[in-house]
Amino acid sequence: MSKHIIHRIVCVSFLTLVLCSCKHGEGEYHGITDKIAAESKNYHGTLSSEVHLEGIETIEITEGGHTFLIPERKGQIKSYACTECHSKPLAQLQSKDGKKAHWDIKLVHANENTMNCTTCHDGSGMDDLISLTGNSIDFNNSYNLCNQCHTKQFEDWTGGAHGKRIGGWAPPRASMTCVNCHNPHEPHFETRWPARFNTQKIKERE
């Protein structure tokens, strides 16, 4: 091949690249996100997850640039409002015979040097949770308690990679919050065998 032809091929490919790389209009987009944003406009108002959310009280939150719904919690917590009993200091509430009011709560989370009840609950304002720096956190936003120590899972959750959606994939986005799945007092899940395994295989091996 002569130098001249090679030069022409290079020039033509370069030109095509320049011409094609930035073509839009007529259904062409800069990237996949532009395409999704533009084409999903047609579906707004027609496809919705709202029917699946009926009967679930939700609140809207914005975290890490994502706005979505999560279930409301305070209405679900048996012993809320805490101040129905916790209107005076703990020392005055504790009975002399050492009986525990919350005997059913066992803390199996971090080790005892790292965590006790007061890491998350504030004796002087029991109706809210408390951050490590002493700021109050609403029970409805308890994910802000968890994110102090579990930043990675929190970020995955805001993006939708950790956790689970409620309803369908159509907007509005509604996601379960941390405490819908993890008991804050005993958050670890035991490793389990899959629910189904091949019994036939076991018979064959016997």
- Write out the two tokens for 114: 């790292």
- The answer to whether residues 184 and 78 touch, using CB atoms and an 8 Å cutoff, is no
Among the listed ranges 4-12, 34-42, 43-51, 80-88, the one in contact with ligand HEC (CB under 6 A) is 80-88
Instruction: Work out whether 185 is an interface residue with ligand HEC (CB under 6 A).
Output: yes
Per-residue DSSP letter, 36: H
Count residues near ligand HEC (CB under 6 A): 52
The nearest distance, CB 200 to ligand HEC, in angstroms, is: 27
Give the contact letters, 99-138, x = binds to ligand HEC (CB under 6 A), - = no. Answer: -xxx--x-x-xx---xx-x-xxx----x--x---------
**What is the Cβ-side half-sphere exposure of residue 47, based on CA atoms within 13 angstroms?**
10
- The answer to whether residues 104 and 197 touch, using CB atoms and an 8 Å cutoff, is no
The DSSP element (H or E) to which 159 belongs, if any, is helix 151-159
Binding site for ligand HEC (CB under 6 A): 73, 77-80, 82, 84-86, 90, 93-94, 100-102, 105, 107, 109-110, 114-115, 117, 119-121, 126, 129, 139, 142-143, 145-146, 148-150, 153-154, 157, 162-164, 176, 178-182, 184-185, 187-189
